[in-house]
Amino acid sequence: MKKIIIALIILLISANLFAQKLERIEPMFWFAGMHNPKLQLLVHGDNIAASRISLSYPGVKLVKVNKVENPNYLFVDLELSSTVRSGTFPINFTVKGKKVFSYSYELKNRDKSAGRIQGVTQKDFIYLLMPDRFSNGDKSNDVVKGLAETALNRDSMYYRHGGDIQGVINHLDYLKDLGITTVWMTPEIENDMEKASYHGYAVTDHYKIDPRYGTNELFKKYVETAHAKGMKVIKDIVHNHIGTGHWFFKDLPMKSWVHQWPKYTQTSYRDQTVMDTHASAADRKKMLDGWFVPSMPDLDEQNPYVQNYLTQNHIWWIEYAGIDGLRLDTYPYNDPEYMANWAIKLKAEFPNLSIFGETFVSGVANQAYFTGGNTVNRGFDTHLPGITDMAVKEGIYEALNGKNGWTDGVNRLYDVVAHDFLYKDPTLNCIALDNHDMSRFYSVVNEDFDKYKMGLALLLTMRGIPQMYYGTEILMKNFSNPDGLVRSDFPGGWDGDKKDKFIVDGRTNKENEAFNFVKTLANYRKNSAALQKGKLMQFVPEDDVYVYFRYNTQQKGTVMVISNNTEKEKTLNTDRFAERTSGITTAKNVISGESISIKEIKVPAKTTLVLELN
């Protein structure tokens, strides 16, 4: 009897050893010729740690197999030689010398085609959209069985509406005609959450496009189609957090994969604690390590495995799809040292890649603190080229809605721009009037069409990279409380919509006037060296009129911007602007096309004039 029991125990142990099941390897493939020779594979499967791994391929060295707390994971360190060639090779998994299974791993050649990974600069005009709310190009993926959320309800702002990547592809010509050069979608990767999964910021699979938007292959086609039309693509990525539905959150590799607290602790959202020389360590930790919201666990970016996973994932997407730039969500909440190292590694692989971080903070100094080159204050370089310039947005709002005073009204905008000395290069900042988290611009100016045009003129002529939120060109409106109202569907993006705002006949006269105003200025920017790469010179506002110039060293095509936010017409004597107007007598109104004398310029009430000096 004793022998039978022992035999059964041995049998059970043996069965357990051979119970491994490979769930996934990430990255699922890689690329030969990368600057960094190191590659760390995340291997996940039932009791995978009981396996022994072996491989043999010229130029690929198996350095180390790392076991962690959870036996369902292995982290495999590889080193790729500079001469390694593309091809496939088996990664073998054995237990007690017996092969259990193998994974055919592929190294692909890097795509060095012209026009890939171009970077985004002041030459560009970015269009931000939410794919779920822009256009439904493929009804077959509206509801995907097996996902946590299958509700499709356009009558609710918090359920999915069915927009997708194909819908964006279908309207790239509309955007190009408008003068858009770059498209930025809120995150497209899988958000398999029970509700409100449409926004994209609660990732559940880093390597997979959400099937309700399309496939990885379709995303790559979207980038290639945009490039073929002379347009660029920005990808929105999230370092700081994931969704609770993420496959690896349901089976954590180790406790330190996410920030752990004795009880649920939410971030304080106080970015000041990161820069405050008087801040307590506890306050700083709460800001950086607290969870964004209960449904979004906070990743521990001091964990080297987490660092490798995120960095490799972003490199993979850029090389796979040929993306031109990245927008980094919730930048101030990330581990500062890791983010600096991350930026160095990405720029080493993609020198032309553009990066800007979301800094939803108050004040120019707070924003500048996070940008690259600010080593005196930080003690290290963040290597972050640009940020989302909320201070300029607030300055424009005050210039449009405020009452002029020493530091109020139009003087606020002048003051904000005067603080550009805090940046290494303020032209790399992304400037905008609104986005998916804010009240829409047209509503903020109380649907005042004159102020609307003033704001757009300032946006498209100010230093930095201009970004416009979808629907602004057709006067879409609403406030951010509740948030869903600023995320309404673009009319005409769905079959059966009563109005199609993508076409002239579907828009009202005022909507067409707004569309054409944006189109005229945006397409003018495409051929204006002064707006694309020129310097900025501003003058102290006088008599409530703000004037600045965009110019280059040759002084050809200098652009003069005059903003009068008052209720009265102003007559501007230009003698004080001789530094930029010397020898020039006439100018062309960019919007109307008329030629005017610049000796004295009549500036209508509530108007921003954009003049090209002859």
pLDDT tens string 387-405: 999 999 999 999 999 999 9
- Mapping DSSP to helix (H, G, I), strand (E, B) and coil, where does residue 455 land? helix
Residue 482: per-residue pLDDT: 73
Among 236, 289, 319, 358, the active-site one is: 358
Identify the band that residue 5 occupies on the pLDDT scale cut at 50, 70 and 90.
very low
On the question of pLDDT at 97 being above 50, the answer is: yes
Residue 276: per-residue pLDDT: 95
Identify the band that residue 17 occupies on the pLDDT scale cut at 50, 70 and 90.
very low
- Give the C-alpha separation, 315 to 345, whole Å: 9
Residue 132: per-residue pLDDT: 98
How far from 314 is each of 27, 298, 341, 580, CA to CA, in Å? 10, 18, 13, 44
- Give the C-alpha separation, 321 to 116, whole Å: 9
Has 358 been annotated as catalytic? yes
Section 421-441 average pLDDT:
97
In the chain, % of residues over pLDDT 90? 92
Name the phi and psi angles at 10, rounded to 5: -60, -40
Identify the band that residue 614 occupies on the pLDDT scale cut at 50, 70 and 90.
confident
- Annotation: CATH topology of 126-526: TIM Barrel (3.20.20)
Give residue-wise pLDDT tens across range 61-83.
Answer: 999 999 999 999 999 999 999 99
Give residue-wise pLDDT tens across range 480-534.
Answer: 987 779 999 999 999 999 999 999 999 999 999 999 999 999 999 999 999 999 9
Section 461-484 average pLDDT:
94
- Give the C-alpha separation, 72 to 243, whole Å: 20
CB 502 within 8 A of CB 171: yes
- Give the C-alpha separation, 295 to 297, whole Å: 6
- Give the C-alpha separation, 126 to 108, whole Å: 31
How far from 472 is each of 136, 291, 373, 430, 504, CA to CA, in Å? 19, 32, 34, 17, 15
- Give the C-alpha separation, 339 to 385, whole Å: 12
Instruction: Output the six-digit token pair for 62.
Output: 């198996």
Residue 251: per-residue pLDDT: 98
Residue 4: per-residue pLDDT: 44
Q: Which H or E run contains 329?
A: strand 325-329
Identify the band that residue 11 occupies on the pLDDT scale cut at 50, 70 and 90.
very low
Q: Which H or E run contains 418?
A: helix 410-418
Give residue-wise pLDDT tens across range 258-303.
Answer: 999 999 999 999 999 999 999 999 999 999 999 999 999 999 999 9
Region 534-613: CATH code: 2.60.40.1180
> Locate tokens 């009129």: which residue?
545
Positive or negative, the Cα torsion across 212, 215, 216, 222?
negative
> Locate tokens 């649920």: which residue?
264
Residue 14: per-residue pLDDT: 42
Domain ranges of the chain: 2-109, 126-526, 534-613
Residues ≥6 apart with Cβ < 8 Å to 255: 69
Q: Which H or E run contains 99?
A: strand 98-109
Tell me the pLDDT of the chain averaged across its residues.
95
Among 132, 329, 349, 434, the active-site one is: 329
Residue 19: per-residue pLDDT: 57
- Mapping DSSP to helix (H, G, I), strand (E, B) and coil, where does residue 423 land? coil
Section 198-211 average pLDDT:
97
- Give the C-alpha separation, 468 to 279, whole Å: 36
CA nearest 365: which of 355, 353, 377?
377
Has 188 been annotated as catalytic? no
CB 100 within 8 A of CB 52: no
Instruction: Tell me, yes or no, if the pTM score tops 0.85.
Output: yes
- Give the C-alpha separation, 241 to 259, whole Å: 10
On the question of pLDDT at 15 being above 70, the answer is: no
Task: Report the first-to-last Cα separation within the chain, whole angstroms.
Answer: 104
Burial of 96 (0-12, 13-18, 19+ CB in 10 A): exposed
Query: Do 2-109 and 534-613 show the same overall fold?
Result: yes
On the question of pLDDT at 16 being above 50, the answer is: no
The DSSP code for 552 is -
Identify the band that residue 34 occupies on the pLDDT scale cut at 50, 70 and 90.
very high
- Annotation: CATH topology of 2-109: Immunoglobulin-like (2.60.40)
- Give the C-alpha separation, 610 to 561, whole Å: 5
Triad 306, 309, 311: Cα angle to 5°: 105
Name the pairing type of β-strands 126-129 and 182-185.
parallel
Instruction: Output the six-digit token pair for 562.
Output: 């005059």
CB 165 within 8 A of CB 219: yes
Q: Which H or E run contains 232?
A: strand 232-238
